[in-house]
Amino acid sequence: MQRQSIKIKRGVGKIKRTTKGGLLIAEATGISDTAQGYKDTPGICTKEQVEAWKPIVDGVHAKGGIFFCQIWHVGRVSNNRFDGVEIHGVHGYLIDQFLKDQVNDRTDKYGGSLENCCRFALEVVQAVADEIGGDKVGIRLSPFASYSEAADSNPEALALFMAKVLNKFGILYCHMVEPRMVKLGEKFETPHSLRPIRDAFKGTFIAAGGYNKEDGNKAVSTGYTDLVAYGRLFLSNPDLPRRFEIDAPLNKYNRETFYISDPVIGYTDYPFLTSDV
């Protein structure tokens, strides 16, 4: 019941951050009991969990928002009113471990060549698209990152291969982490760019990783990406779109509270702008 209570309170945070036409992506959500890797992470594999998500999704829809459920691990997708599904393929977890040749040491059809290393990820995309339709599917990838020592010897080739093959599935979007975000929460100077990958992918492209308002606007206006995803700034500023709109100051986020079990501290306790601003 503690996990259920935490998830519901965090769901309130999702609703509070909803704006009309805005896209919200849920945190990584386990699709089986064995998919859970951390304490108090949400799930969507039991009837109780599915039912608990429904009022949260309804609340987002009531405010005119669009809500995708990000799933990690592989399995079937439950029907519980989300607008779509984002497949979690980043940061050294299951799918990323297949993609990266520095950790994938398999000798069967899922390892060795670039095509083989990408096979599992693409089979997951196919399975989810077959279940709910490709137009409701997105995938998040981090080819340049080396979280949990999951690096690749040629991330550009990996990213381009995935972008081109994903076009065949007609999925809605590809959500990719910037090359500068190699390690957790830190920016690094890099000669790499997402532009070639964005140009290769024919659907909507989302870039993520250390963006502020100014460089986010520039990335969109120059065609570098279609959309920019905000995580840490949105966590600490539940009214981030409004603050961007009027150039209001931003709350500073506290990284030490990002992954604690408390469902309020560091999640729903960041203040909104006062009504007279």
Task: Give the per-residue pLDDT at 78.
Answer: 42
* C-alpha span between 39 and 145 (Å, rounded): 24
Which stretches within 133-181 are classed as H helix? 155-166
CB-count burial class (<10 Å; 0-12, 13-18, 19+) for 247: exposed
Evaluate whether 135 touches 189 at the Cβ level (below 8 Å). no
In a domain, 262, yes or no: no
Task: Give the per-residue pLDDT at 186.
Answer: 62
Tell whether the model's pLDDT for residue 76 goes beyond 60: no
User: How many domains is the chain partitioned into structurally?
Assistant: 1
Task: Give the per-residue pLDDT at 74.
Answer: 34
The CATH number of the domain where 92 resides is what?
3.20.20.70
- Express each pLDDT in 78-98 by its tens digit: 447 899 999 999 988 889 999
Region of 223 please: left (phi>0), alpha (psi -120 to 50) or beta: left
Task: Give the per-residue pLDDT at 47.
Answer: 84
Q: Residue 7's CB: how many other CB atoms inside 10 A?
A: 21
Task: Give the per-residue pLDDT at 3.
Answer: 47
In a domain, 270, yes or no: no
Q: Residue 37's CB: how many other CB atoms inside 10 A?
A: 12
Instruction: Give residue 177's domain range.
Output: 1-257
**Radius of gyration of the chain from its Cα atoms, rounded to whole angstroms:** 18
Tell whether the model's pLDDT for residue 240 goes beyond 60: yes
Task: Give the per-residue pLDDT at 16.
Answer: 82
Task: Look at 3-12, 19-28, 83-92, 227-236 and tell me which has the smallest mean pLDDT.
Answer: 3-12
* C-alpha span between 30 and 109 (Å, rounded): 26
In a domain, 50, yes or no: yes
Tell whether the model's pLDDT for residue 9 goes beyond 60: no
**∠ CA 156-107-101, rounded to 5°:** 20
Evaluate whether 178 touches 216 at the Cβ level (below 8 Å). no
Evaluate whether 8 touches 21 at the Cβ level (below 8 Å). no
Residue 64's identity, in one-letter code, is G
The HSE-up count of residue 101 (CA atoms within 13 Å, CB side) is 13
Mean pLDDT of all residues in 195-224: 97
Mean pLDDT of all residues in 112-130: 97
Task: Give the per-residue pLDDT at 4.
Answer: 46
Task: Give the per-residue pLDDT at 11.
Answer: 65
Q: Residue 87's CB: how many other CB atoms inside 10 A?
A: 24
Task: Give the per-residue pLDDT at 80.
Answer: 79
Active site residue 147: no
More confident residue, 267 or 117: 117
Please tell me the pTM assigned to this model: 0.82
* C-alpha span between 27 and 42 (Å, rounded): 8
Q: Which of 38, 93, 230, 253 is catalytic?
A: 93
Mean pLDDT of all residues in 48-53: 86
Which stretches within 80-171 are classed as H helix? 94-99, 114-132, 155-166
Q: Residue 272's CB: how many other CB atoms inside 10 A?
A: 13
Task: Give the per-residue pLDDT at 72.
Answer: 67
